[in-house]
Structure 1
C-alpha cells in the first residue's frame, strides 16, 4: 500500500479529527457542530472558497489547481450519525445518548478533509476540485435537499465521486461496481384500523394485532411469489407497534419497513401488490387499512468508464492487486445516487479491519483507513484534472 506521503505525514491529525467527530455525533439536518468543525478545518487549510448552508447544514469548498483549466471534479462525503446507543467501548465513544456514528460518516468526513488539506497545499492539478460535505444521508434526503438548493447550479461539476468504508476484515481492498451498484429504496407505513375491546372479550374486537400479523406474513409473498427471481428485491418489516396495556385489545396497529430494489418495474409492482394485499385484508375483516409508500433512495448508477478511472486511482494507493471492478451489487442504499442522477461519477467501497457490521451499536471504524481514503480522493482529482505534461 502506498498512501500519499504528505497525507501519511498528518495521519495522526486525521485520527484526532475523526475521534472528535465520533464523540459528538449529530443526526441528519442537525449537523451544526460538525459543519462548523468542517468549515474551520477547511479555512485553516487555505481552500479558496467555503460555502455553508446548502441542504441546511451542508458545506461546499472549492480548491483551484495550479493551472486554471475548465473542468471541475466533485468529491462528496456524508456527515450525519444514526439514532443508536453506542456500545463499541472505545474511549472516544459518543457523548450524546441515542446517537452514534455507526456507519462511518465521521470517517468519510475526515477523509475528505484529509484530501482537502493535501490538495490545497499541493494544487498539482488543472481545474477545480469541488468538495461536498453532505448532511442527512441516512434516509432523510440530504442529497436531494442540497440539489434542490442549487448545488450543481452554483457549483457545477463534470463528474463526481463518493466513498464508503466497509468493515470486511480486508484492509485496503477497493471495489467499484459499474452500472447499478446499490439498491433503490422505498419506505412504507401501514396503519391497521380495527376495533378495540376488553382483552377478556376479544370477540367484541376486530383485532388489529391478529390482522396485522397476518398481513406481515402475506407481504413476504410479494418477494417469493410475485417477483421474477432474476430481479432481486428485499422487503423487510422493521416496525410493528400496537397496544399500551395488558388487558386491552387495541384499536390500531402500525407496521413499517423498507423495500430495496434494482428495477423500476419491480418496485412499481411491489408497491401496487402491497396495497392490494392491504385492501384485501381490510375487506376480509371489515376494517380499514391504510398503506403509504415513498421513495427514499434511487438506484445508485456508477458510470462504467468513470468506474474504471476510480479503480485506477485507487490502485495507485492500495496497489493493483487490491483495487478491482466487481459485479457485486449491494442491497444497501445510498443517497449519493441522487447526485449521480445529475452528473456522471462513481462510488467506491474501501475495506478495513474489523467485521462488526455497519449500523451496529458495536461498530468500530479502523482509523488506518483514513489516510487511505484521503489519498484515493486526492488521486482521483489529480488523475482526472492532470497538469499539462503530467504523467
Structure 2
C-alpha cells in the first residue's frame, strides 16, 4: 500500500500499486487483478479522477516506448505512458509537433486521451482527441479493442475524455503537425474589462493560432487582465534557451496564496506584464508550459492543498456568467492568482464526456480553506448551472452529482462502455461506482 495524492494535494489516499512495464505484463496484471483498478500516469489531475482510494492503481509511466513514426505523414505510434514532453523534445527538432497540448507537458499520452485535454488553440485545432488516429484498449476481462473514428467509433468516442473508465489504454497513434521550429511570434496586450477581452479573443481567432489570457479575479467585476497570443515562427538562428528550473523546496505551514498576499501579488503581476506588453519571440516551452519550470509548485498552497475550479459556459451567456463569478469571488473575500480565461471555438469534441464545448472557460485555483471554500464553490456552481455550463472532471474534486449529470448529456450513453473492473474516486462520487 502506498499513499498517493493528485496534483491538488487535497488528500493522501492509500492505494495498492502495480507498475506496468510492457504490454504483455500489463495484460497479465490487469486481467488477474483482485481489486477494482485504475490507470495512473503522472497524477496531474487536480482532484480524484486519477485516484482509486483503497483500490488498485496501475502505474503506466513504464509503458513509455515509441513504436513507429512516419516522417512523411507525421503519424506517431507509442505506448500510453510516453510523456508529452518527450514527444516534443524528440519531434520538434525533426519538424513535427503535437497539435494540442495542455498547460503542462508532464502528462502521459494515455492521460491526455482520457481527459481529452485542450490547449490555447482550440478555435483552430480542437482538443487532443481530435488528433488521435487509433487507440488500443485493454479491458479487464482480457478483451483488446482497437478503435478509431472509423473503426468501432462508439468505443473511440467513449474512451476520448472517458476518464480512464472504459479500459486501460495501452497504445495510441497520434497525428503530429509540421512545424518550422521551436519559436513563436507573440503579442501581449493588457485589457481593463471583459468587453475588451472578448473583442481581443474574437479578432485574434482569424490570424493567431494560440490565444489565452490571465485575469485578475479580485480587481472587480469589470475584469482586467493580460491577453496573450502567439503564432509559430520560422526563426532558425536563435540558440535554444537555457532553462533554469527551480523547485518549491518545502510545503509551507500555511498557503502562500491567501487574503494578505493575493491583492499585491495580482497587482504586481498585472503591472509587470502591462509594462512589458507588446510583440516578442518566445520559445515553445515558456509560452505553452510556464509553470513547468517551477517544480512542485503545488506545494505553495500549504498542507491542506488546493482546488482548481474550471468551468465552461455557452458564449451567449459568457460575459454575464463571468461577471457573476467575479462578483461571487469578490463577495467571498478569497481569490485566485492562477486564473485563466479563454474562449473555445465553435466545434464539438470527439468524446462523449469531453469537457470543451463552444463558449468561454474560466480556470481558477483556490487554497483549501474548508467550508469557506465550499461555500464559494456552491455559489459558482449555481452560476454555471444557470448558464447551461459544465465543470472539467480532470480538475474536479467536489462537483455535485446533479451538476455533472446536467453538464454531460451523453453520460447515460457513456455508462454502457464502462469497464466493470475499473473504478476511481471520481466515478464513485459522480456515477455511483
Range of TM-score over shorter length: under 0.3
The structure with the largest alpha-carbon Rg is 1
TM-score (norm: length of structure 2): 0.24
Greater relative CO, 1 or 2 (CA 8 Å, sep 6+): 1
| Higher helix proportion | 1
Q: TM-score scaled by structure 1?
A: 0.26
